[in-house]
A and B are shown apart, each in its own frame.
Chain A
Amino acid sequence: MLKIPEHVGIVPDGNRRLAKRLLKKPWKGHEWGVEKIKDILDWCKELGTRVVTVYLLSLENLEKRPKKELDYLFGLARKEIKGILTDNRHIVHRNKVRVRFFGRLDLLPEDLQKDMVMASEKTKRYSDYYLNLAIAYGGRQEIVDAAKRMAEDARTDRIKTSAINEEMLRGYFWTNGFPDPDLIIRTGGERRLSNFLPFQSTYSELVFLDKFWPEFEKKDFFGAVKEFGERDRRFGK
């Protein structure tokens, strides 16, 4: 029997390179990338994978990418969120997907922040599937931010330093309450995690694919899951 991952993490790399190859402006690839994320939601439903976490934008991306590209991405996000808010046949409603955003959201344009809050609110009652979107995210920053706030609570005696353990620290994470990914798929050929859920990916199986994200097909997804199923997860023992 095929072992199905409860939670899949995705690093959807390669949008720009595919666009360049097809002689389009690099960020046109992001438009295709968004559509692919919606496909994933259907494939997960078919498979039984309930949680997907997608690495949309890192803090490094936010810092280093050209303004034009970022504006384009924000535009795509606004458009998609508008769909979630106004179209009852949007896939998140059809599949009953709760959408959540995490990262340094405060660094994003204010109107987009408001949109994200509304989209989260609108899908809050769904519990069949979860789509977590990492935006302005960095694993190190998540850890340090958590350590800071925990230290502040120690300073004000809200917590006892002797009680500090993994569970307590995780309580301060932006991803608090999210399960750890069983499987992380990275498209685009690179073999690195790029600061995606470093703490939470401790026992995640990693599958790397050379295909660019917009080229990712259902058979690739199912292939990665099959590979996951064949692996021997020892959790350090």
Chain B
Amino acid sequence: MKNRGLHVGIIPDGSRRWGITNGKPPSWDGRESGEKAKEMIYHILENHPEITEITIWAMSTENFKRDYMDKKRVFDLVENLIDSMLEDKKSLKDRGIKVNFFGTKFDEVPQSLKDAIARSAEMNREHGEIRLNIGLGYGGKFEIVMAAANLAKKIHERSLFKKMTQISERMFEKFLMVPRSLDLIIRTGGERRLSGFMLYQAEYAELFFSDTLWPDFSTKEFDGIMEEFRQRDRRFGK
């Protein structure tokens, strides 16, 4: 069986608190958070061939209810991240990357970010070895409800299936935004909960919680987590 590599999920929490404790003004553009994301992505690309998919939760559906400055910060840092990675396109060529933005609030995102997202396709290599999924306006419960609703619509329209028994987990997964299961989830920022991140995909994911605030998260800590992951006994119910 072909080894598909690992799918790592990242909940990069703690930026707001970092901003406050580091004396950043409300107008802070979140630069350090974006740079940290880029650093992690490149670190994984260069030093962790066992990882073939990364999913980063940039913004949840609930985050969209935050005030304007908080939202703008995330929009800006994602846009900067995309542009920064496009500038370094050449250094990605060894492994090849395929970027995918997912979520439900794309219409509420500023035009400049929409444009950046469209531009990000330029870095996609046809046979990109690594997939990078960035969640904007994503929520696990929302994803599930939407998948179930879309499934129901297709059945109602008679465009899919005659027998209910034909609906399997595999079929349902086709309606998800990120169909692949996660092998591990890293949450920075100290909280010990999943907040609905990839709840379906996190079935047997190993969970790692770090108290480090996202902009302070180091590649050394990441490597330590990967080492711990290797030591864990994954039984999948057995």
Size class of B's contact patch? 35 or more
A157 to B202, CA, bound (A): 33
Write the nearest CB–CB distance from B12 to chain A, whole angstroms. Answer: 15
A149 to B139, CA, bound (A): 23
A151 to B156, CA, bound (A): 7
Residues of B near A169 (CB, < 8 A) are: 144-145, 148
A166 to B143, CA, bound (A): 10
Give which listed residue, B140, B145, B156, B196, contacts A155 with CB less than 8 A: B156
Q: Are A140 and B203 closer than 8 Å at their CB atoms? A: yes
Q: A144-B169, A164-B145 are in contact. Are A237 and B66 (CB under 8 A)?
A: yes
Residues of B near A201 (CB, < 8 A) are: 193-194, 199
B86 at the interface (CB under 8 A from A): no
Number of residues in A with C-beta < 8 Å to the partner?
A: 50
Residues of A near B200 (CB, < 8 A) are: 139-140, 143, 198
Residues of A near B172 (CB, < 8 A) are: 143-144, 147
B146 closest partner in A (C-beta): A164
Q: Are B236 and A60 closer than 8 Å at their CB atoms? A: yes
Give which listed residue, B63, B147, B195, B203, contacts A203 with CB less than 8 A: B195
Q: Are B148 and A164 closer than 8 Å at their CB atoms? A: yes
Q: Are A194 and B203 closer than 8 Å at their CB atoms? A: yes
Mark B residues whose CB is within 8 Å of A: 60-63, 65-66, 139-142, 144-145, 147-149, 151-153, 155-156, 158, 164, 167-169, 172, 191-196, 199-200, 202-209, 232-233, 236-238
Mark A residues whose CB is within 8 Å of B: 58-61, 63-65, 139-141, 143-144, 146-155, 157, 159, 161, 164-166, 169, 190-195, 198-199, 201-207, 231-232, 234-237
